[in-house]
Structure 1
Amino acid sequence: MKASRRHVLARRAASRGQALVEYIVIASVLAAAMFTVEFGGRTAAQYLADMIRAFFRNLSYFISLP
């Protein structure tokens, strides 16, 4: 019984390690795409930064209203 329990625990640990590798691969592909793919002459990172800047500009305007 102890041997089979160790086997199950070892398989779970290997599964967790595989998920971490998959997460790192997907995150690195998305990060690379943010700086290489262009939308109208701007990268996705520049577009995202512009949208965040516009959001905070509009938010500060809204807060300043009486």
Structure 2
Amino acid sequence: MGILTTLVFVVIIIAIIATLLIAGKSDENYRSSTKRNAKNLTLIYAVVIPLSFIVLALFIVFFT
């Protein structure tokens, strides 16, 4: 179970880093037009990550 938990953390960290790198590499016009999209994606991560931890905790409690 420890390996799966570590894998979840690694995937989350990689996804966040990739998103930040992609959002940071753009020309000025593209960046200004996608600023709202990057903000929305950040909010999605802010919701999905805690929910993932809750689901993982429930899985551990009920299925182990």
Question: So what's the TM-score if we normalise by structure 1?
Answer: 0.44
Larger radius of gyration: 1
Structure with greater helix share of residues: 2
The structure with more strand, counted as a fraction of residues: 1
